[in-house]
A and B are shown apart, each in its own frame.
Chain A
């Protein structure tokens, strides 16, 4: 019955019908009776003191309900926005956490910082009134550049963070040992790398509606959130001071998040606060310009990375020194991203015995930086894989061969790295071999020669990535500073006639959980997939959950569903045994059918469910009903890995890079829906290609204006920038979760930038920084040809 819809089947996505026929229901589709609209007046300056803020004229404008400022926020004892991960630096002190006001008080610290909010009957009226607010600024010199931020005479973003330093953190082998290894090593390579700042740009911009019920004293927050329970926790316990049972957070259909919708932002805080204050629903929807200025950005590192090797190219030690940009304020999980999600992955797929990583996080007058698809792990892979390829060039060894010499061998798992984590499973050489075959690596020299005959420069580049998904277990994560646990919940609730609600604490905003999770339940409980309803995104309908980020939903949330299924099966067994007048111990269970071993007696799950709710013939003492909850806290991260091979062709006349071939072979462990997994790989590669070739948030380094403030200047990848992908898979099941799955959502974005930049370097012979714009590539080619001529 479940053969075509169970685990492993490429089931078409149940949710797509509503998405592609315009029947999805997003936050901006929600309109409540009596609703007013919020419009935020935002700072035009990167750094300024607010000398005067006069809202009197604006308050008198037509349709205006209220004009609220930072002083109103303060008067109502609304707290500031928080960073939920306390990071301890080298000397044990916690990170510097300057105030992050919901609306600015005396200073604005980046372009787009909230100065005031106008709430009016219509959005147009709110915008009109915002123009009548009088603000006098005393512009201050901003600090934009990362290195500049650490200089002694740099402008100071916050008095609470002297030297603009948020923290100075290290991990891994003691630096003195690593230094000694470097001093004695036969070979050393070194790279200066920039990991460019990215603007997430989900298709759906952020939005929120706050609503207050005076009769019940209950608040509702509709929000474009990836993790509604965490948003509720932060809003209630840290900012608004209201009990959790009086705030319901609903994250309906969400049109992409990529990390940027994990966080608790000022705007939803204001909508909830103002709804109660004003007694009217308050709605805000970001426009695209606001999204560019206020959605938490991603990446933004500068790094010096070095690799020491012996005479045979065995990696001996790696030394990494990174400056990471936090922006002007700390976003919800900002401190963890360039530390625990970065430094812990720097061993890559290799046996490098010593790794030292130092990270200094700095404040600048720019938009806050936080997790963005991959979050720290793309940055780590970029460092490791560009170093490895530089090492191969230095040693004149084939880059695939050099990797094989240094891979963690398949018999070494679990493998303890020098940077805390222990990898659970993998077969890296096998995956590389698959990728080499799929990419026809042996045929590359012929393709390069053929391209050269057409006047094009062809290059090939590898990226053998490791990632860590499903941050866990909670006790360990808590010990390194996390503010919330990292388990997940599931609840399976049978209806009397055999259909099922699966209430999950995960949140789907493009990942296809409504299909994947239904496949698991259909497979385990023998319920037809169209009888399985996956419910998510509403704190009043699903149990407390941690939401979706870090490729955790299947590995953690899916495992919770498996546990709940097991509990259902156990209880059902008692009912089935009663119905068949058999002993529980004699029952076998498979895909929704209970059988008495060695007989032809059987009872399907649907009959068990009906009996549970109509318990006329029922085991004495057993509770009626068929509904079970489970919470799953993993014992370890999962460690997906893979190899991407990019092949590019460069037009030396223009510097344009064309991706000729792309091969991705990923080991995600077991796969529930291969079609959805392949889609995740495609999307991830597209984002990585965007970072490597096209994207990059650019601030004017003097004024702090965001120069890439719209799609006119910020270049998102488009379909015609991408080739068809050769996607392959290997499967080394995760040994410590019941599904044997590892997570696939971020892999493409983690792997692809290094592969592409390595391919470009191979083609042109020069290391350049991302994004590899045509002019940068052209200039590198020019410099090389004039060097050769000289």
Chain B
């Protein structure tokens, strides 16, 4: 990696100030994407701002119908949280199957969502559960947050502080992992929420998206059988050596059925 200045701010304000002050600064959360990128010399930030000592970004709490998760919460912590498992078991299970133990012990929900890798798991949960993203400047609805391949509504220097997830009636997640990387080749998160059925798909396209065909079918009856014969168009889906767009489109329906079955 190239040389950079390393900072470990002790407060959210200090972190934000460092990022504002240096145009080429990068925030470091779990580092599961940033560190490999640095090691391969594919990025050369002037400053790296480590968020691990920022207290405002930490913690999990459940209050009434809302689960709140701090941005600097590791996947393993979400997976092992009894409160999360009770309130939104699908979210707990999703976290438990991200990457491998090494990734789950370092990677954070804020880092994953801010990075918006098109094959990451968390964006599908955030979108399907209609979560709200709280930054150091504002709140952003999930439907307004994801802007396609590695793009989000975050401004330069803006930091995610926490997520609030409304507890759904039921929810489920199923993914077809890329056999090599174990990222989601197709991951489908289904949720029956107060505002209706929401279905978010990750891995299949250039970014997480809502599958309207699946949502419509499940709105009639929230059952795997109601998805029989439902086809999702393959246009615009990813196509690579691991799976064509057509195959991915097919898998969206298959994984949606399994997610519904998992939702119970």
Contact = CB atoms under 8 A, between A and B. Distances in A.
A694 B241 CA distance: 12
A779 B41 CA distance: 39
Contact of A708 (B41, B241, B244): B241
Interface in A686-704: 694, 698
A694 B179 CA distance: 7
Interface string B180-201: 1100000000000000000000
Contacts of A694: 179-180
B243 interface: yes
Given A654-B251, A654-B254, A778-B250, A713 B181 contact: yes
Contacts of B247: 775, 778-779
B254 A653 contact: yes
B156 to A, nearest CB: 27
Nearest to A127: B41
A713 B241 contact: yes
Contact of B180 (A653, A715, A774, A778): A715
Contact of A775 (B40, B41, B180, B244): B244
A104 B75 CA distance: 47
Contacts of B176: 654, 774
Given A127-B41, A653-B254, A654-B254, A698 B241 contact: yes
Nearest to A696: B241
A86 to B, nearest CB: 37
Size class of the contact patch on chain B: 10 to 19
B80 interface: no
A711 interface: yes
Contacts of A127: 41
Size class of the contact patch on chain A: 10 to 19
Interface string B219-258: 0000000000000000000000111100100110010000
B96 to A, nearest CB: 15
Given A653-B254, A708-B241, A773 B180 contact: no
Nearest to A721: B179
Contacts of B244: 775
A714 B250 contact: no
A710 to B, nearest CB: 9
Interface string A113-136: 000000000000001000000000
A711 B254 contact: no
A75 interface: no
A686 to B, nearest CB: 15
B254 A715 contact: no
A221 B233 CA distance: 59
A300 to B, nearest CB: 16
Contacts of A653: 254
B180 A714 contact: yes
B181 A773 contact: no
Contacts of A708: 180, 241
Interface of B: 40-41, 176, 179-181, 241-244, 247, 250-251, 254
Interface of A: 127, 289, 653-654, 694, 698, 707-708, 711-716, 773-775, 778-779
25 contacts: A127-B41, A289-B40, A653-B254, A654-B176, A654-B251, A654-B254, A694-B179, A694-B180, A698-B241, A708-B180, A711-B180, A711-B181, A712-B181, A713-B181, A713-B241, A713-B242, A714-B180, A715-B179, A715-B180, A773-B242, A774-B176, A774-B243, A775-B247, A778-B247, A778-B250
Given A654-B251, A716-B180, 7 more contacts: A289-B40, A654-B176, A694-B179, A698-B241, A707-B241, A775-B242, A778-B250
Listed from nearest, the 10 A-B pairs whose CB atoms lie closest are A715-B180, A712-B181, A715-B179, A775-B247, A653-B254, A775-B243, A713-B180, A698-B241, A694-B179, A654-B254
